Amino acid sequence: AQSVTQLDSHVSVSEGTPVLLRCNYSSSYSPSLFWYVQHPNKGLQLLLKYTSAATLVKGINGFEAEFKKSETSFHLTKPSAHMSDAAEYFCVVSSLSGGYNKLIFGAGTRLAVHP
């Protein structure tokens, strides 16, 4: 079975400082992994995805994530936080069930950005 664990429920950073949101996964085979962002009262937006190509994945808005199989991790980073980055972030693994995928979400990390 596949699962993801987001190691921090809340992360607080100052504007202009780096962001690190941590995610560990569990999967019995090579996983597809994603990061989604959810702004207040909005739906989920895909930030980036890993599907067994390059291990360093670049996404939108300056975010990137590195797939590390040896550490079963898929941490999300951004060099410099912006106020507009304040949101909830979800690490997600795709589960192939019956040949078709469904998404399994982590519990989420709420990112606060202070001036």
Partner 1 sequence: KAGVTQTPRYLIKTRGQQVTLSCSPISGHRSVSWYQQTPGQGLQFLFEYFSETQRNKGNFPGRFSGRQFSNSRSEMNVSTLELGDSALYLCASSLPRENSYNEQFFGPGTRLTVL
Q: Provide, rounded to whole angstroms, the least separation between the CB of residue 14 and partner 1.
A: 27
54 part of the interface to partner 1, by CB under 8 A:
no
Q: Provide, rounded to whole angstroms, the least separation between the CB of residue 35 and partner 1.
A: 13
Among 35, 65, 78, 108, binds partner 1 (CB under 8 A): 108
Q: Are 105 and 3 in contact (CB under 8 A)?
A: no
N-to-C CA span, the chain: 41
Q: Which stretch binds partner 1 (CB under 8 A): 38-46, 53-61, 64-72, 74-82?
A: 38-46
CB burial of residue 78 (10 Å; 0-12, 13-18, 19+): buried
